């Protein structure tokens, strides 16, 4: 393959190398640019001489300043750059970005499970929630028994899962921040893919009682059968009686869920979470812009789309508030950024702690560069709402769900927000998967898609090589979302049952 590079904006003074394995010293591009040293794949090459103190520009923004003279054709790496300060939250504009033409897409449907509260599931799953970590092993045991002894009787039920965690006791229950894990667990139990039939297993003596996690006001109308099993109740004599009580409760719920069938639903019933993990310098060039294109299609079809990861959008706050549909949304964006700034500062850190060694090996030198690529997942739509961590979405359109960037914490919080479909992009590769919602995984590079041919659902690396456009890959993502939501397509993560554990975000003290 001839030497290829990608320059995103005319004003950029660096480009990234496309060729697998990078390019050696002396490589000459069609325009005469000659490499003065080896530049790895996905890493930046200087397009002009950059004297010490020069801004390094990618995505049309300054991602750093050189700390030494960098000649044209040199590798621009982390050691040659100083990171800019975070942009001021006080100076972020309220609105003002051009509103794109977002004409509605009519008649887009999928086959889903309609719930009594009006939400729609893409899966028909029985979930058993837990109030405290003490009961996790017992519930895991019971779930194995349910899958073995009961689930075969109910062919219309897709799965049985346990919502286990490390919370519930030994905690400062009323401390600031404690509302986040509590409402997360509450809203996980009410996720649309669980059919509005929550079940809870409690120990009995924990701080977070079932009535705290699922107060009556949040519960749908239930049959007369109880929805809680408490292990310490005196009626239970021995472990197997406890397990039998859980199985008896599960059997009644399975009977209810088994009566459900898929029906035609408008695309506006989709709640799609967008996320990236194991990112590289191609993330903002291929997969994330294609996801952004699909995001715009979903919004035009009336769906709810969430992008997240506070530290990975913080450096683009001025871009986000400019896209806010109104001043309240802009203020909410700033509020969540400030809350997270304060949270990190309390731990003696700031947003620059975010990039991983893998991100840097993949050409992302700092959080500024990473943020510019991450924001691309949000497309061009106006932002119509902001969710705090663990809050449930009640607004359609494009939403920002404030979460940490940690993959499984973010995924857990998006599930709590009501997500029934998930799209996940990766450049370095990850077998990430969720039990509660299907996960479509995209690779940013074709070499990863070839190497992980049975883990990656869509290869977006074809954009880098010019085989496809962002729009073409975006259309494929959009169609796969509809097919997967309808049960017509099975993602690789679901094929193998790659379902990682839930990960709560708990900023409150542990006692």
Average pLDDT over residues 24-48: 98
Q: Stretch 235-259: mean pLDDT, rounded?
A: 96
Mean pLDDT, rounded, of the chain: 96
Please state, in angstroms and as integers, the Cα–Cα distance from residue 74 to each residue in 21, 33, 81, 259, following that order.
Answer: 16, 10, 13, 64
pLDDT in tens, 294-308: 999 999 999 999 999
Supply the DSSP string of 376-412, one letter for each residue: GGGTTSPEEEEE-TTPPP---EEEEE---S-HHHHHH
How far apart, in whole angstroms, are the C-alpha atoms of residue 434 and residue 491?
11
CA distance 190 to 198: 7
Mean pLDDT confidence for 471-487: 98
Q: How does residue 398 score in pLDDT terms, banded at 50, 70 and 90?
A: very high
For residue range 449-462, list pLDDT tens digits in order. 999 999 999 999 99
List Cβ neighbours of 109 (8 Å cut-off, separation of 6 or more). 264, 265, 266, 267, 482
On the question of pLDDT at 222 being above 50, the answer is no
What is the C-alpha separation between 50 and 96, in angstroms, rounded?
33
Per-residue pLDDT reduced to its tens digit, 168-197 = 999 999 999 999 999 999 999 999 999 987
CB of 44 closer than 8 Å to CB of 23: no
Residue 423 has pLDDT above 60, yes or no: yes
Residue 223 pLDDT greater than 60, yes or no: no
Residues of the chain above pLDDT 70, percent: 98
**Alpha carbon distance 307, 284 (integer Å):** 14
Q: Binning pLDDT at 50, 70 and 90, where does residue 220 land?
A: low
- Arithmetic mean of pLDDT, 86-91: 96
The answer, yes or no, to whether residue 225 has pLDDT greater than 60, is no
How much is the average pLDDT of 340-344? 97
Q: What is the mean pLDDT of residues 74-95?
A: 96
Dump pLDDT digits (tens) for 281-291.
Answer: 999 999 999 99
353-378 burial code (b ≥16 CB/10 A, e <16): ebbbebbbebbbbbbbbbbbbbbbbb
pLDDT tens-digit series, residues 118-171: 999 999 999 999 999 999 999 999 999 999 999 999 999 999 999 999 999 999
The percent of residues in the chain predicted with pLDDT above 90, rounded, is 94
What value does the mean pLDDT take over residues 45-62?
A: 98
Rounded Cα distance, 292 and 307, in Å: 10
Task: Calculate the alpha carbon distances from 234 to 12, 192, 238, 246 in Å.
Answer: 70, 34, 10, 15
Query: What is the mean pLDDT of the segment spanning 328-357?
Result: 96
pLDDT of 373 over the 80 cut: yes
Is the pLDDT at 377 greater than 80, yes or no? Answer: yes
Give pLDDT, residue 196: 82
Residue 221 is predicted with a pLDDT of 47
Task: Give the pLDDT score at 389.
Answer: 98
pLDDT score for 82: 96
Listed residue (295, 306, 320) closest to 410, CA to CA: 306
Stretch 469-481: mean pLDDT: 98
CB 276, CB 245: distance < 8 Å: no
Query: How big is the chain by its Cα radius of gyration, in Å?
Result: 24
Confidence class of residue 219 from pLDDT cuts 50, 70 and 90?
low
Cβ proximity of 20 and 2 under 8 Å: no
């Amino acid at each position: 393959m001839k030497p290829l590079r990608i320059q995103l904006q005319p004003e950029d003074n660096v480009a990234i190398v496309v060729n697998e394995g990078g390019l050696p010293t002396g490589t000459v591009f069609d325009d005469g640019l000659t490499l003065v040293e080896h530049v790895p794949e996905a890493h930046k090459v200087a397009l002009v001489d950059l004297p010490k103190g020069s801004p390094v520009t990618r995505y049309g923004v300054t991602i750093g300043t050189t700390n030494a003279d960098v000649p044209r054709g040199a590798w621009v790496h982390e050691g040659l750059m100083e990171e800019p300060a975070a942009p001021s939250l006080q100076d972020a504009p309220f609105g003002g970005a051009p509103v794109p033409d977002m004409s509605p897409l009519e008649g887009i449907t999928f086959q889903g499970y309609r719930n009594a509260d009006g939400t729609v599931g893409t899966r028909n799953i029985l979930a058993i929630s837990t109030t405290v970590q003490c009961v996790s092993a017992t519930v895991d045991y019971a779930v194995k028994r349910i899958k073995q002894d009961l689930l075969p009787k109910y062919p219309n039920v897709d799965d049985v899962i346990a919502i286990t965690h490390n919370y519930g006791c030994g905690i400062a229950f009323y401390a600031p921040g404690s509302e986040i894990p509590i409402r997360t667990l509450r809203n996980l139990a009410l996720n649309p893919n669980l059919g509005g039939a929550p079940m809870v297993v409690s120990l009995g003596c924990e701080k977070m009682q079932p009535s705290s996690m699922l107060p009556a006001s949040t519960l749908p109308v239930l049959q007369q059968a109880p929805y809680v099993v408490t292990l310490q109740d005196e009626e239970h004599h021995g472990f197997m009686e406890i397990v039998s009580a859980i199985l008896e409760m599960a059997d009644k719920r399975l009977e209810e869920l088994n009566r459900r069938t898929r029906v035609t639903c408008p695309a506006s019933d989709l709640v799609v979470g967008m996320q990236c993990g194991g990112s590289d310098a191609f993330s903002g060039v291929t997969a994330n812009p294609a996801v952004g294109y699909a995001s715009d299609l979903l919004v035009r079809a009336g769906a709810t789309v969430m992008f997240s990861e506070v530290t990975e959008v913080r450096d683009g706050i001025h871009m986000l508030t400019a896209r806010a549909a109104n001043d309240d949304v802009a203020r909410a964006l700033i509020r969540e950024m400030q809350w997270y700034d304060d949270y990190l500062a309390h731990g003696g850190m700031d947003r620059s702690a975010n990039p991983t060694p893998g991100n840097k090996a993949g050409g992302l030198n700092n959080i500024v560069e990473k943020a510019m690529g991450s924001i691309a997942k949000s497309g061009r739509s106006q932002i119509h709402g902001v969710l705090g961590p663990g809050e449930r979405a009640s607004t359609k359109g494009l939403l920002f769900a404030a979460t940490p960037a940690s993959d499984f914490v973010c995924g857990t919080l998006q599930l709590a927000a009501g997500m029934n479909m998930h799209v996940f992009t990766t450049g370095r590769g990850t077998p990430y998967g969720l039990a509660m919602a299907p996960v479509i995984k995209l690779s940013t590079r074709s070499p990863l898609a070839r190497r992980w041919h049975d883990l990656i659902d869509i290869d977006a690396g074809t954009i880098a090589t010019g085989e496809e456009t962002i729009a073409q890959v975006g259309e494929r993502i959009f169609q796969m979302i509809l097919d997967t939501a309808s049960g017509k397509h099975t993602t690789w993560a679901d094929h193998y049952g790659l379902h990682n554990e839930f990960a709560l975000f708990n900023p409150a003290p542990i006692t």
